Amino acid sequence: MFRDLPTYAEMTTNSFWSTRTPAHWAVRPGLAVLQENRRQNIGLIETQVLSLSYGRVVVKPIEKQHGLAPHSYEGYQVLEPGDIVVRPTDLQNDQTSLRVGQVKDRGIITSAYIGLRPTGDWDGTYAYQYLTVVDSTKRIYGMGSGLRQQLGWADVKRMPCLVPPGGEQRAIAKYLDHANARISKTITAKLRLIDLLKERRGVLIDDLIFGVGADLRDSGIPWLGEVPASWEVASARHTFKAVNRVPVGNEPRLSVTQASGLVRTEDMLERSTQAQDVGRFQRCEPEDMVLNKYKAHLGVFWGASEPGLITPNYTVFRQVRPISTRYFELLFRSRRYLQGFREIVYGVTDGMSPLYLKDFYRLPLLSPPLSEQEAIVRRAQALTAEMQHVIGKLTREISLLQEFRTRLVADVVTGQVDVRAIAASLPDTLEQDTELDSLLDDDLEDVLGGGEG
């Protein structure tokens, strides 16, 4: 399906794509094949909120709709299935985010985005794939205007658009549906294996942390259960103190990710939406621990390895006594402590659930002597090194599959290969993998390095 794809016999130079495209394909301005969405949510006729996330237009859960009063939705635009959304802002500063998505559910989205509907000679699926290639090949970043290089309808309507014959567009869409399904099935299998490996790693580390095989005693705390008899269980107040350090110099901005810990914001896969006013930031230093206080129940609590600036959405903790920050990273992500966090946060949902400082200070911490904390970390690292190597290999393979998919779509949509014959041999119907959609929504962004911001 992917090997030895033929090319078109007659090609012509296309300046927009800086390559040659099939000579029999028309080239028309965006105005001829796209309509700008002008349907506004006047009278609050629609309440289902949509968001553009990692190149997918998804329904935004109510619990994640923070800071928006219902009356503010009147300024949103109403979208229908098949519409295309483009995030047009801040082109010069953010050249990593995926900016194009196709709508699957009727709903509303901010009018700061451009809503488009294919029209005229453009097939809806081909139109979406074409615009994703404009995005993935970075041509979108040369189209904007203004001080912040913002894309507008005036830019889109002048954009050169390739228009293959209608039957050929449908053949391209059919081929890409099948190709994407095959690639996605492979990604799904790798994601499942990563999940199984992470689950096994968690079990092994939990056994180390909670002294399985040692002399145990009842901690007196239902969710904590039995703990090694010689280890201390004391409130967090005896180990950590929240601090608010003033920014100094030009330290890098940091973000807390659930998958990778504290990372430089500039290295995140998706652009962080954190505040831009550095005066509101706080400083963390090596060996500080940083807690995403709205996602403690997900284990988002990490030690800092370098100085940096972080938003006040996070709590920065300093050690009150000598500890191993790596031990407490493991402890706070163990199954028992994730349950413990769930016991003390408020309004636990898949979204934000605040952990108040007074409640954190009452959290009982299982604290072996420092030498044993360090020994546990060493054993955990050794125990899971090979497993982590496999997870890293799988993650790289997923990244390569994503890159291959991006290149394949670009080649097919711009006519670098001819898929008409192979499309004719493919079944007309495609079995949908709803489990894949769930995995992509929940896991893929974390696996490839995204974060909370």
Confidence of residue 271 (pLDDT cuts 50, 70, 90): very low
CA distance 288 to 305: 8
Distances (CA, A) of 436 to 97, 185, 263, 377, 450: 21, 7, 28, 35, 18
Whole-angstrom distance, CA of residue 210 vs CA of residue 225: 10
Confidence bin at 450 (pLDDT 50/70/90):
very low
Residues 98/54, Cβ–Cβ less than 8 Å: yes
What is the C-alpha separation between 340 and 227, in angstroms, rounded?
14
The pLDDT, as a whole number, for residue 268 is 66
Alpha-carbon span 61 to 350, nearest angstrom: 9
Those residues with Cβ within 8 angstroms of residue 407's Cβ, 6 or more apart along the chain or in another chain: none
309 vs 71, more confident: 309
Average pLDDT over residues 152-158: 93
Beta bridge partners of 241: 318
Share of the chain above pLDDT 90, in %: 59
State mean pLDDT over 258-282. 66
Q: Which residue has the tokens 């994407």?
A: 180
Mean pLDDT of 336-356: 79
pLDDT for position 299: 81
**3-state SS track over 262-293:** EEEHHHCCCCCCCCCCHHHCEEECCCCEEEEC
Instruction: Kindly give, in sequence order, each residue whose CB lies less than 8 Å from that of residue 87, ignoring residues fewer than 6 positions away.
Output: 52, 97, 99, 100, 112, 113
d(CA 379, CA 383): 6
Q: How many other CB atoms sit within 10 Å of the CB of residue 123?
A: 21
Beta-carbon contacts of residue 235 (< 8 Å; ≥ 6 apart): 361, 362, 363, 364, 365
Which of 92-96, 156-160, 226-230, 387-391 has the least mean pLDDT? 92-96
Q: How confident is the model at residue 347 (pLDDT cuts 50, 70, 90)?
A: low
- The predicted pLDDT at position 348 comes to 54
Split at pLDDT 50, 70, 90, the class of 453 is very low
Q: In what order do the strands lie in the sheet with 100-102?
A: 34-36, 114-118, 84-86, 100-102
Cβ 64 vs Cβ 351: under 8 Å:
yes
Cα 265 to chain center, whole Å?
13
pLDDT of residue 275: 45
**Is residue 79 within 8 Å of residue 117, measured between CB atoms?**
no
**Of the listed ranges 239-248, 330-339, 383-392, the one predicted with least confidence:** 239-248
pLDDT digits (tens, 9 = 90+) for 199-208: 999 899 999 9
User: Which of 88-97, 244-253, 381-390 has the least mean pLDDT?
Assistant: 88-97
- The pLDDT, as a whole number, for residue 297 is 82
Examine the pLDDT at 321 and tell me if it is beyond 80. Answer: yes
CA 121 to CA 422: how far, in whole Å?
23
Question: What is the 3-state secondary structure of 112-157?
Answer: CCEEEEECCCCCHHHHHHHHHHHHHCCHHHHCCECCCCECCHHHHC
Residue 446, pLDDT score: 54
Q: How confident is the model at residue 452 (pLDDT cuts 50, 70, 90)?
A: very low
At 312 the pLDDT is: 82
Mean pLDDT on 389-410: 95
d(Cα 108, Cα 106) in Å, to the nearest integer? 7
Q: State pLDDT tens for residues 29-74.
A: 999 999 999 999 998 899 999 999 888 999 987 655 554 555 578 8
pLDDT, tens digit, for every residue of 403-441?
999 999 999 999 999 999 999 999 988 766 555 555 554
Domains present along the chain, CATH in parentheses: 26-163 (3.90.220.20), 232-367 (3.90.220.20)
Beta bridge partners, 253, equal 309
Q: How many CA atoms lie within 13 A of 381 on its CB side?
A: 9
pTM of this prediction?
A: 0.75
At 33 the pLDDT is 97
C-beta of residue 415 within 8 angstroms of C-beta of residue 22:
yes
- Angle made by CA atoms 1, 84, 412, in degrees to the nearest 5: 25
Per-residue CA distances from 397 to 93, 128, 137 (Å): 29, 26, 21
